[in-house]
Structure 1
Amino acid sequence: MIIEIKIPTPGESITEVELGKWLVEDGDTVDKDQEIAEIESDKATLTLVASEAGKIKIQVGEGEAVPVGAIACTIDTEAGDVQLSAVKKEKAGTPEIEEKPAETKAVKEKTGSDQPKVKTTAVAQKMMEENNLSVDDIIRGLQRIGKKEVEAVLHLPEETKSSFVSKPAAFSREEKREKMSLLRRKLSERLVSVKNETAMLTTFNEVDMSRVMEIRKQYQTKFVEQHGFKLGFMSFFTKAVAMAMQFHPTVNSMIDGDEVLTPDFVDVGIAVQTPKGLMVPIVRNVESKSIPSIELEIKELAEKARNKMISVEELTGGTFTITNGGTFGSLLSTPIINPPQSAILGMHNIVDRPVAVDGQVVIRPMMYVALSYDHRVIDGKDSVGFLVKLKELLEHPERLLTNGKTPEALLLEL
């Protein structure tokens, strides 16, 4: 029976995809539910799965653009059954006692080929054989290298030493050329359009991360026991962003034709670096979620993105974006807006720096934060005020429970 494997639809608005890479060869026998290919759209990389076991026949080449619903390959289930049954019969007809020597021999041959080329004296070789030891066993048994061992190598003949002493890499002028993926091409187009079509500015501030770090250190063990995962920094920033927007709602706005759209909800995109490029999964309705639920959702979405299991729906939408260059050691940067959004927050590396506190110079863990925004929608007053409020919430994280107000203000109903 011939089964047709068709290109699935990644999302409602997508009519064409690119077959990025085949994970099997033409004519291979595949298992049911085995991943056989990677499909790239302009938003995500998805996986094509074999619906049945059998012999595969590929009909679309790598890098080809194909419409949704087109046949990518076929699977001959009968050919697969014949081959699998033949293997089973062969195994069933072979006595178990005959398999073990063959297996042992294969292991020995592999071990021998993988062993490093080490000169062994006849006496040492005999002792190794008598005690059933290999060259690898002897090397692993050496706990340290001392002066005696180094001098032994230095006094070897030059022709012997040259066979294993590492040499500087040869000078190279080679180049590697590969086609850009559909995802990266689309990302490039969007980034260029942002630079050309928005009035983008960036404003900066710095945050003392002492209190957030103290909370993580003090409650991390209990948090893991209670929730089953670690507490990170991103959930604090995500929650603080949503609360700061209550005071500066235009940061959550976007241009829609000749109108400015300002949602009541806050859907935050979290930029995640994957092997296929940058992806931005969306955490929806952040304003109504707790920090543990935000942390869990970020963790799950990031894992899905890196494992190519994320759906287009989980990448679509968003009213604001956070990107964390600090994970790669960035001290300061100007992030670029993710359209049609009007602003993006850039987090950076936490560095101990001298700062003035109450007239004293003290060392504090400081982070620079950057807000890139579209000046057509967001005025300077709101962009600067948003970062100031964000700084206030992160330096006093208990205010995340009081809608950004101080306990004194709540007490006095101010």
Structure 2
Amino acid sequence: MTLDFTLSARGEELRERLSAFLDEHFYPVEAELDAEMDALKGPEPFGPLMSDLRKRAREAGLWNLFLSDKSLGHGLSNVDYGHLCELLGRSLWAPMVTNCNFPDTGNMEILHENATPEQRTRWVEPLFDGSIRSCFALTEPNTASSDPTGITTLAVHDGDDWIINGHKWFISNAVGAQLCILMACSDPEAEPHFRGSMFLVPMDAPGVKIVRNVPVFGHAGGPGHAELRFHDVRVPGDAVLGHVGAGFILAQDRLGPGRIHHCMRSIGWAERAQELAIDRAASRPHQGGVLSKSQLVREMLAQNRIDIDAARMLVLRAAHTIDEHGKRAAYRDISIAKVFAARVTQQVVDRAIQIHGALGLSDDVPLTKMWAQSRALRIGDGADEVHLMTIAKHELRNRGH
């Protein structure tokens, strides 16, 4: 395979503009924005500062960067977007400023590919425009949600409508969302991979309840990771996305690019953690000199560089495979990148915390949030073990077993 991970001329131009925009408009107010989003209670999707930054980003032409469709985005390749996404990943809220935040990106992609004209008018256009946010409800508290064929949320026909009952949790960014793309079992008697369907459920529909934001490493603020209950939620027949029974296929189509986007962002926060660690080591007094003179610390910084560069190469290889052969052909490469990037970015951030000492445990630097993101990435969008099984399956198949 010929691997070309270089930016196109268009990608390079956008990367320079994005970097300049973040330096001028985003980083000076990053702490203020973090506090604003942390206090978000809904139903509004954004606070005033976030809304202003999003307006600026759109006016600057830094909007929907993830979309390869030139009619809606910039027509970038996945490799191009990987480089830009790394920049966005340096901060928790930078992706949202450019309408490139999880889970909206994955939702927009499957809606763009599968929505009816009516669904497009009601949901897709506002999402692309950035006037609303969405969430994706798959995970359940009492089932192994890494296997979507086993979900228990039930959708039952009632005339032309569907009645939905179920319990979901760890639903990212549900607070302030207007749309929930919900996975439910629509035919318990069907073959497992055709039992589920996806439904477009308004978050203000009667029977939809946000029970709480589930605390993750002690944090439960902002758009959060919500626990949701659906009690006799009635939606019309045209609320089905795609067709009845297509839920599993749509979930796989959605999660593939979503996983690689997470990995792209993780390279960004690993790079920022490394920069913070270098600056801390070069300025922190230690035994008559500074910490960076210590061989142990230099080894940590060197290992960080090796890990970051290796993760970046695997992530860009997966992006290249998607560009050349499509997302379904890239499952193996995506799984390899997902496992490796999640593991090593956690290690990179952990070393950065160690170099900072007690300061690294505080919220005065963003390392604790980066560590939590890294640890969560080893479970979200498929646990390490699920992806290891996928990789092993491909290895065996390639040897004829």
Give yes or no for TM over 0.5: no
Please, what TM-score do these two structures have when normalized by structure 2?
0.21
Higher normalized strand content (fraction of residues):
1
TM (norm. structure 1) is 0.20
Q: Which has the higher helix share?
A: 2
